[in-house]
Chains A and B, each alone.
Chain A
Amino acid sequence: MLGWGVDFLRAEMNRLLALLFHQGVLDEQFLQLQQLQDESSPNFVSEVITIYFSESEKLLRNLRMLLMDRELSDYKKMEIHLNQMMGSSSSIGAKRVRNVCVAFRAASEQSNHAGCLRALELLEHEYCYLKNKLHELFQIEQQRALASGVRYPAQHD
């Protein structure tokens, strides 16, 4: 077993996680998700996160489309999308993304088009950052799984 490799990678993962926590990008709900992962569902976190990514990108696209029409911006619809994004972000522990959604929604409630645009840009930025960091995390995790070999069973009964 490549003991040193596993330890190093675990440390890398913890360091990245600590950073993300410190930055407020993730909160303890993310840890809760990790705790739900076990031998019978070894890919739970990455499955949920993958769904989160695809759902979020749909929502972001919809939001951008809604904002492109300055005249008839459908704020009600925006709020629906935002609520969805807020909900799913909080479910995976994406704290900063969620907070931007809150601010975005406030702008939408005031029918503040410029404010919404700014919020959308910030939201896209935060989402991108989150996505990149989570991908990094999963890559380290995959490497660690490979390095440790017997850490995860090849098949579970």
Chain B
Amino acid sequence: MARNGVASWRRRSSDQSDDPSPCGSEDVHVLAVDDSLVDRKVIEHLLKISSCKVTAVDSGIRALQFLGLDEEKAAGDFNGLKVDLIITDYCMPGMTGYELLKKIKESSALREIPVVIMSSENVLARIDRCLEEGAEDFIVKPVKLSDVKRLRDFMTRDVGDRVRSDGEGTTHKRKLQESSDVSSSSPSVSSASSSSSSSSSLPTTPSRSPSPSPSVSLSEPSSPSPSTGSSGPCSPSSLESPTRRLKMTSCCD
């Protein structure tokens, strides 16, 4: 299960022994936001099994409160526990995951925190919108252990990048926005973008099997250009395939 992942994660984190960030130490702290109690329980467990500390809240407003960014408190009034990743459901009453994403990216204190969106609906427009707004990833529910493992692997690498670039953060953060075309079922996509990855290759068949590490796209040289919309070689029809997760790749130039 996730036990293998723990070993490799620790190996990587030892490279950053001087790293003061939480990823250099034991646990990644994830803030999970979902109005569904069932989903909260599942995602919480998935994260715990993957050696993450979890705080689960039931709304965007509570998430912002936890992050120290609500109207009552001054921004920067942190509760002390640094959050390394925010994973949020898209469809929530009140503040949607998209609105939460926007608020986080608008905040100078919080915009560095990677945000992942989950949704039970596989809607390209929605995915595009989220990625354009700065979401690191978009996971189609139901969330599986392989998704969480992938996120955690990405987190470790991500924090490493962040540390090495002296906290600038912007370089890697917008990498995924190079392309808004998402497909893990197109072979051409996989060959184009797996060049700089040393981890698992992209699946070429639409399946529910573990999806590739996001490091494939993250390690692409970044140009902080905004998303160009749904253009590129990835055909829309590939999205109708039962791919659970739409993979961000830099398939369009």
A: residues with CB less than 8 A from B are 28-29, 32-33, 35-36, 38, 41, 44, 47-48, 51-52, 55, 80, 83-84, 86-88, 90-93
The residue from B35, B91, B93, B141 contacting A91, defined by CB atoms under 8 A apart? B141
Interface residues in B, total, Cβ within 8 A: 21
A87 touches B1 (CB 8 A): no
**Assuming the A-B contacts A52-B38, A87-B91, are A32 and B45 also in contact, with contact meaning beta carbons closer than 8 angstroms in the complex?**
no
Check A55 against B37 for contact (C-beta < 8 Å): yes
In the assembled complex, the Cα of A63 lies from the Cα of B23 at a distance in Å of 45
Report how far A50 CA is from B49 CA in the complex, Å: 21
A112–B35 Cα distance when bound, in Å, is 27
- Cβ A28 vs Cβ B208 within 8 A: yes
Query: Given the complex of chains A and B, what is the CA–CA distance between A38 and B39 in angstroms?
Result: 19
Does B46 lie at the interface of the complex (its beta carbon under 8 Å from any beta carbon of A)?
yes
Q: Which residues of chain B are within 8 angstroms of A33 by Cβ–Cβ distance?
A: 42
A88 CA / B143 CA spacing, docked (Å): 11
A54 to B142, CA, bound (A): 19
Please state if A87 and B41 are interface contacts (CB–CB under 8 Å): no
Chain A residues whose C-beta falls within 8 Å of the C-beta of B145 in the assembled complex: 32, 35-36
Interface of A is mostly: helix
> Does B165 reach chain A (CB closer than 8 Å)?
no
A38 to B1, CA, bound (A): 10
Q: Is B41 in contact with A51, judged by CB distance below 8 angstroms?
A: yes
- In the complex formed, the residue of A with least CB distance to B46 is A36
Query: B142 contacts A84, CB within 8 Å?
Result: no
Structural contact, B93 and A36, CB atoms closer than 8 A = no
B144 at the interface (CB under 8 A from A): yes
Beta-carbon contact of B49 and A29 below 8 Å: no
Identify the closest chain A residue to B1 (Cβ): A35
Is there contact, CB below 8 Å, between A48 and B38? yes
Pairwise interchain contact B45-A41, C-beta atoms closer than 8 A = yes
Chain B 200-231 near chain A by CB (<8 Å), digits 1 or 0: 00000000100000000000000000000000
B141 touches A90 (CB 8 A): yes
- Among A33, A36, A47, A92, residue most surrounded by chain B Cβ atoms (within 10 Å): A36
Which B residues are CB-close (under 8 A) to A80? 93
